[in-house]
Amino acid sequence: MMDALRRGAQGWVAKILFFFLIASFAVWGIADVFTGFNRGSLAKVGPTAITANEFQQAYQNELFQISQQAGRRITPEQGRQFGLDTRALTRLIGSAAIENYARSLDLALPDRTIVADIEAEKAFQGFDGKFSRQAFDGYLRQIGMSERAFFAVKRRDEIREQLTGAMTQSIAVPATMIDVIHAYRDEARVIEHVTIDPARAVTVAEPDEAAQRAYYDANKARYMTPEYRQLAVLDLSIDAIAKGAAVTDDEIKAAFEKDRDTYSRAERRRVEQIAFTDKAAAEAARGRIKSGQSFADAAKEAGAKDSDIALGLVAKKDMIDQKIADAAFKLEKDKVSEVVEGRFATVLVRVTEIQAGQEATLDQVKDRVREKLAREKARAEAQKLHDGVDDNRASGKPLKEIATALKIPYRDIAAVDRDNKTPDGTTAIEGADGDKIARAGFEAQIGIERDPVELADGGYAWVDLVANTAPSQKPFEAVKADVRAEIMDKERRIALAELGQKLVERIKAGTTLAAIALETGGKAETTLPVTRSVIPQGLTQAAVTQAFILAKGAAGTTDTPDGKSRILFRVADIRPAAAATKEQRDALAGELKGMLEGDMLTSFVAALQSRQGVTVNDAEFRRLTGADRAQ
């Protein structure tokens, strides 16, 4: 449930999220406690049971968070592949272990402490900086939780945070550790480098047919056709349905009138306000402003910071207090309002910027309205057709017959591989969802129905596996050119590696990198001073890693990123890290303290789980996550 809270709050919620992230590592090795037992609870930590409903909500919240970060919807199936199902369960287990321990210590918090914490939470405050019941109630509606349930969760998490916080607050980072890590991270090196021109530096003889056949025979597994699958695809695309949706002019006009505001650009104003304890204080401040005091200075006298008075660039409808909104949107630019007694506070308001609104006409947005209506109709039609497909599937009808009956596009994919390619190398399934549909085909089994694939436009695609063609050996004559190219490429790489080592020895003997560049067709270059975390153009991570191991003046060699040539490099200079500034030391100390806290909490949670005992119903877990269906 607490994962849901993270979507709308910060402050104490962020601290709980930090704890959960650490706790998840402590129980990551959960596989060894998976055992089969009677259906019921999904898992047990000591006397505490974790129910299927708790897990499902935690898993859905995990998927929601990752989807927000990724900018696209992560399906439960994808989440399982990423290990999010296991992570959600490990978090629940770690949390339960700590809660059990807290109960054994009889830890408790009075109601007034919980209330004070909630009232102090910024997510539940209005524009005046005070607790807003309206904001709190709205938040509870958003996460689907009652006030009683929210208080219970808050109480558990506060107790848990106090318990773990008491363990970690005394952690101190040794100054020596800060110095050593700063010296390591900020040490810089100047690197000379050249990339060898393979065409000029090495010559590889063409292999004869006997060598090619021998290579082919020794590497036959490399020369196989991929597995191909024949698929039947029923494609219910929202975009396709929308293109054929009939939308009348009367419908467009009615929709425009109903949602006119959404097509128009509302006037927006940059608003500042100062909240006061009473009207008299506000009147006194307004008098000082009229006499020449700045709005910012008046705010400071009232105890407000610059960040407290700025409401941002807002439309009138975005402001919670309608009385303050009315006053702000009547003001001239840079003028200060009369005293406004709002619903939550008495304020003075100033407007520093005005962006005029624009009323849209039907002619201007007619195409947008038509498209919106068409998609709304398409979604309704798609749901109706979706139900129709399900009904027909339940009666055993094949996709092609269903497509004919419901007039839905049908595709017979004769042969597609895992990369969505046909035998001749062209794309088998066109469109944005082609790769996704192909993957579904390779997860399917003949004669077994699968859930439809969710398309990017909100539609669906049903995929049935009709037949599959196993990989087969390609004959030598068909791949002869590939064999020849691979042999020569392999020999070229070996020759380049040998040349690279010889050139390193020459540099040790005193030959300059510039001289070697002339011989090998490359260009000698020198980097600016770089740290371990920087990869300059022309170098690779492997080259930089080697360069920070070598002594000044020493040389090394490594592959280019594409593996087709070699990079030769020399450490021209080593520059120790400058003394760390206070800001750097503080930042590094904070980072290291977090790591040490993580190690301590990981050990603590692991010990609690070992002491209390953890069991997981493997069969129930696989059922809830859909792992059984994936086999």
Mean pLDDT of 53-76: 77
Edge-to-edge strand ranges of the sheet holding 228-236: 410-416, 228-236, 460-469, 453-454
Alpha helix stretches (DSSP H) within 329-394: 362-394
How does strand 34-35 pair with strand 614-617? Answer: parallel
* Whether the predicted pLDDT of 128 surpasses 70: no
Nearest CA to 513 out of 482, 543, 476, 556 is that of 556
What does the pLDDT read at residue 32? 39
Distance (Å) of CA 206 to CA 211, 485, 487, 489, 562: 10, 9, 9, 10, 22
What does the pLDDT read at residue 94? 87
What does the pLDDT read at residue 525? 95
Say if CB 319 and CB 327 are below 8 A apart. Answer: no
Name residue, tokens 């975005």.
318
What does the pLDDT read at residue 143? 62
d(CA 93, CA 557): 49
d(CA 231, CA 410): 11
* Whether the predicted pLDDT of 9 surpasses 90: no
The DSSP line for 184-226 is: HHH-EEEEEEEE--HHHH---PPP-HHHHHHHHHHTGGGSBPP
Say if CB 607 and CB 178 are below 8 A apart. Answer: no
Nearest CA to 461 out of 379, 387, 386 is that of 386
**CA-based max dimension of the chain:** 102
What number of other Cβ atoms are within 10 A of residue 76's Cβ? 16
Three-class SS state of 56? helix
- What is the C-alpha end-to-end distance of the chain, expressed in Å? 30
* Whether the predicted pLDDT of 39 surpasses 60: no
Three-class SS state of 454? strand
Nearest CA to 464 out of 428, 437, 435, 431 is that of 437
On the 0-12 / 13-18 / 19+ scale of CB atoms within 10 A, 20 is buried
Say if CB 150 and CB 13 are below 8 A apart. Answer: no
Structural domains of the chain in order of their starting residue, each with its CATH number:
2-170+592-630 (1.10.4030.10), 188-223+478-575 (3.10.50), 228-241+385-469 (3.10.50), 265-355 (3.10.50.40)
Nearest CA to 1 out of 69, 64, 47, 43 is that of 64
The DSSP line for 395-451 is: TT--HHHHHHHHT--EEEEEEE-TTSB-TTSSBSS-STTHHHHHHHHHH--TT---P
Mean pLDDT of 4-30: 39
Q: How many helices (H) and strands (E) does the chain have?
A: 27, 16
* Whether the predicted pLDDT of 21 surpasses 80: no
Nearest CA to 201 out of 490, 440, 517 is that of 517
Element at 496 (helix H, strand E): helix 476-508
What does the pLDDT read at residue 514? 93
Note the pLDDT tens digit of each residue in 226-247: 999 999 999 999 988 998 888 9
Residues in a beta bridge with 616: 34, 43
User: What is the value of pTM for the model shown?
Assistant: 0.57
Tokens of 380: 């309704």
What does the pLDDT read at residue 516? 94
Note the pLDDT tens digit of each residue in 211-220: 999 999 999 9
- What is the Cα Rg of the chain in Å? 34
What does the pLDDT read at residue 417? 95
Nearest CA to 337 out of 396, 416, 246, 275 is that of 275
d(CA 316, CA 405): 52
What does the pLDDT read at residue 478? 93
Question: Which residues make Cβ contacts (< 8 Å) with residue 515, sequence separation at least 6?
Answer: none
Identify the band that residue 55 occupies on the pLDDT scale cut at 50, 70 and 90.
Answer: confident
d(CA 541, CA 552): 19
Say if CB 382 and CB 236 are below 8 A apart. Answer: yes
Say if CB 503 and CB 516 are below 8 A apart. Answer: yes
Nearest CA to 267 out of 372, 374, 358, 339 is that of 358
Angle at 530 between CA 529 and CA 531, to 5 degrees: 135
Residues 404-428 as b/e (b if ≥16 CB within 10 A, e otherwise) read eebebebbebebbbeebbeeeeeeb
* Whether the predicted pLDDT of 353 surpasses 80: yes
d(CA 174, CA 595): 13
Backbone angles phi and psi of 550, in degrees to 5: -75, 155
Say if CB 457 and CB 238 are below 8 A apart. Answer: yes
Note the pLDDT tens digit of each residue in 554-610: 999 999 988 889 999 999 999 999 999 999 999 999 999 989 988 888 898 899 999
* Whether the predicted pLDDT of 512 surpasses 50: yes
Identify the band that residue 209 occupies on the pLDDT scale cut at 50, 70 and 90.
Answer: very high
Note the pLDDT tens digit of each residue in 260-314: 777 878 889 999 999 888 899 999 999 999 999 999 899 888 888 777 788 888 8
d(CA 452, CA 449): 9
What does the pLDDT read at residue 17? 39
What does the pLDDT read at residue 630? 52
| Alpha-carbon dihedral 321, 322, 325, 330, rounded to 10 degrees | -150
Tokens of 77: 């199936």
Note the pLDDT tens digit of each residue in 438-490: 999 999 999 888 889 988 888 999 999 999 999 999 999 999 999 999 999 99
d(CA 586, CA 412): 63
